Amino acid sequence: MAPVLTATGDQTYCPKSQINIVTDFNITDPDDTEIEALFVQISKGYVQGEDNLTLTGSHPNILTSWSVEQGKLKLFGLGSNPVNYSNLIAAIKDVVFESTSDFPVDKGFSITIGDANYLPSTDHYYEYVPNLGITWTSARIAAASRTYFGLQGYLATITSSEEAQLSGEQAAGAGWIGGSDAETEGVWKWVTGPEAGTVFWNGLSNGSTPNYANWNIGEPNQFGNEDYAHITDPSIGIRGAWNDLPNEGEAFGPYQPKGYIVEYGGLPGDPVLQISASTNIYVPKLTSTNAATRCGSGDVTLEASAINGDVYWFDTITATTPIHIGSFLNRTLTQTTTYFVMATNGCLIGERIPVTATINNLPVVQSTVEYKNCDSDNQPNDGFANFNLDEITPFIIGNATALVTSYHLTYTDAESEQNKLPTIYNNTNGNVFYARVETLQGCFVISEVSLKISTTLLPQNFSTLLEVCDDDATNLDGFHNFDLSQATTTFLNEFPAGQNLSVHYYETLEDAEINKNEITQITNYTNKTAYSQDIFVRIESNDNGECFGLGNYLKLRVNDLPEFQVGQTNFFCLNNPETITLYTYNTNGVFNYEWSDVNGIVLSTSNTIDVTMPGIYQVKAISNLGCESFAVNYSVLESDTAKLNNDVICIVEVSDNNSISINYDNNTLGIGNYEFALDNENGPYQDSTVFTNVLAGRHFIYVRDKNGCGTVSFEVFILGFPKFFTPNNDGINDTWQVRGLGSDFTEASKVSIFDRYGKLLKQIRAKSNVWDGTFRGEILPESDYWFIAELIDFNGMVTTYKGHFTLKR
């Protein structure tokens, strides 16, 4: 019959202290008085490297062995001899637990007579059986053949994190467990033990569990027909987690099976055993904390709750004396304060949580404000006006920022933030209302606002005028820039000195009433309606916003500039100097004029001026309002008749296309603007300086100045020899002679005429004689005849021309 173990001693634990794992322990065994060994294991919450079990006191007949991996302390006799129960009972009472952590978790301890790990929450035992290279199917058979104090074994089925830690992370080795998806790929079931047939995972590594699974990183991955669950070697990934392997596993390395995990308990027919006992220690924990916030100084209540201990409050994180013990801390505060709270059984080691009582400041405002406005609506002096409530806000909050202000007719509405007044408010609804001023943290105060209506203090029909001439652009459009500040002194002078007043300008009465859309660029304001505009003026106190005047007191006027036209450009003929009258016309009013030369010297103040010299003259007009037009230039340009000579004339003669060209480049003819005609003074005239297909003979070139300074002529000669003549006495081409022989040649110039055989028929003077087609009085027949012309100039230079012509009958 198996022994019966009993233990008591569930306790609370102070971090970093030693505590006995039991307060009482006993072993009852009617058959024996001794046993080979007893095992104490941290079966819940074990943290390797922090937790430790130690046998204290004097126990000369007992040795201990501590397994860091399993969190297990073994008590056994000297020389492997059995140990008397009484000695073991005394020893267990002296086993202490200690953690080096400031923040340990709850722990569970199991005391058992066997080497298998015992988990009190399942009342099952877990044993690692080493067997290098064993297959999963062999491991399943081997596990089923094992027993533990009469309990039937099976490959472990792990259904909770506590079970996973004890059977995996705290096991003596890694190996097969009882999960498989061999039946249906991707559907993982427990196929052993009481949980046989229970699905615990669906899919690959990105799948899901309906209850509990402890796969390692990236598992299961079905990497080559991997249908069986295995606790991964400690060198891979998460200690105690699982991976999938094929039935044989790997031949070597970390994925080679090293053994298997056998679970005992829960099968039909298993005996009821009490070979194990268990206790727990609990670390006091805070379950909740509640901070507090209020607006302004006053009472605050902070709250915290705990399990397994009391709530201690401290004023600093390192304080050694609590300022209060209990769930609720009440304090009267003027500023934000942080306290520190912990759950404890009286031990001051452990986590302290900051809990803050936040004191948000109330807005600093004027509690009462009186605001005045001018009575300037459509019914002046009736005591009612529009108010822009946004303009009142600065008088309540000053220069403060990050505040939200709303206005309400009643104090109650202001408190509850109901029925906000519109920004534009008419005091027909009442002269007293309330401003709610709220911080971004939701803290608010309420100020009382009183409205007062004042009548304007400016004289009735008061007005001042700013006028300018429309001279800001060449297009006269009636718009101009104004410096409104020029009127400010005029308005302020209407009030007694020493008052802190300011003048504001608006485009509409409504804007002036509610102090909205103020004209800010007062030194550079362009009127919005052409030629004239009313500007509304608001004069108020800089101290309290009181209105001293409001109305369309400022008039803007843009006066037209004089407009007129001048005559066309005039030309002064150097060949015929005479007085030229310059004049204006098409004026839009009666103006004074001012004529000046390019040096600005005034020459005349009449609407006309007589000039006797070429030049650029300016004229401008001045209206009776003092507006001065833009200056208009009036040009009087020089011109003259052309200067013709042989040097500027180029003649192509004795050709099939005789031409006359006149060199007009670089003012070779003069300063005028010229046009040209040939042989007729009346034209037609042309701009081209070239005449083509000109007949041989005497010609006159006419050059006329387009600017009206006159026409000149020049005689030219085109030398030519007729191609034929018809001596039939009809008066047309009856003789043959040299044409276009000018005065450059002497009378000695001659022409010799030959027949086709070279016989000299006639010799004539080139300048004066003709040939009538006879030889010694006889009429010659139709034929071609030849000539040699020897033309002699006055320098004795001889120019010879040869050719032929036709005699036609």
pLDDT tens across 519-550, in order?
Answer: 999 999 999 999 999 999 999 888 877 778 88
Mean pLDDT in residue range 46-55:
96
The Cβ of residue 202 has, within 10 Å, a number of other Cβ atoms equal to: 15
Element (H, E) at 394: helix 389-397
| Reported CATH class of domain 285-360 | mainly beta
Token pair for 5: 């173990």
> Is 374's pLDDT higher than 80?
no
Q: Which residues pair with 659 in a beta bridge?
A: 652, 692
Is the peptide bond prior to 220 cis by the omega test (within 30 degrees of 0)? yes
d(CA 738, CA 792): 14
pLDDT at 570: 87
The top-level CATH class assigned to 565-636 is mainly beta
Asked whether residue 380 carries a pLDDT value surpassing 60, the answer given is no
Domain extents for the chain? 4-112, 124-264, 285-360, 374-453, 464-559, 565-636, 646-718, 724-807
CA dist., res. 619 & res. 270, Å (int): 130
355 φ/ψ angles, rounded to the nearest 5 degrees: -130, 125
Q: Residues 6 or more apart from 795 whose CB is under 8 A from it?
A: none
At 715-760, the pLDDT tens digits run 999 999 999 999 999 989 999 999 988 888 999 999 999 999 999 9
| Domain with residues 646-718, CATH architecture | Sandwich (2.60)
Q: Which amino acid is at 603?
A: L
pLDDT at residue 184 tops 90: yes
Fold that domain 4-112 belongs to in CATH? Immunoglobulin-like (2.60.40)
Across 413-417, 475-479, 577-581, 692-696, the highest mean pLDDT is recorded for 413-417
Contacts 24+ apart (CB under 8 A), 800-807: 801/654, 801/721, 803/721, 805/721, 805/722, 805/723, 805/724, 805/725, 805/736, 806/723, 806/724, 806/782, 807/724, 807/725, 807/726, 807/727, 807/736, 807/773, 807/780, 807/781, 807/782, 807/783
Q: What fold is seen in the domain 724-807? A: Immunoglobulin-like (2.60.40)
Rounded to whole angstroms, how far apart are CA atoms 179 and 200? Answer: 9
Pairing verdict, β 176-180 and 228-231: antiparallel
Q: Which fold has domain 124-264?
A: Mannose-Binding Protein A; Chain A (3.10.100)
Q: For residue 653, what are its two tokens?
A: 């003669």
- Averaged over 486-490, what is the pLDDT? 94
Rounded to an integer, what distance in angstroms lies between the CA atom of residue 404 and that of residue 655? 104
Residue 135 pLDDT greater than 90, yes or no = yes
CA angle 133/134/135 to nearest 5° reads 115
Are 691 and 703 in contact by the 8 Å Cβ rule? The answer is: no
Q: What is the pTM of this model?
A: 0.55
At 80 the three-state DSSP class reads helix
Q: Which amino acid, residue 410?
A: T
Domains 4-112 and 124-264 are alike in CATH topology: no
Q: Which of 48, 56, 96, 26 minimizes the C-alpha distance to 281?
A: 96
Q: Are 761 and 754 in contact (CB under 8 A)?
A: yes
Q: Given this model, what pLDDT does residue 365 score?
A: 96
Residue 224 CB-half CA count within 13 A: 6
Contacts 24+ apart (CB under 8 A), 473-481: 474/630, 476/560, 476/561, 476/563, 477/530, 478/527, 478/530, 478/531, 478/558, 478/560, 479/526, 479/527, 479/530, 479/558, 480/526, 480/527, 480/558, 481/524, 481/525, 481/526
**DSSP, res 745:** B
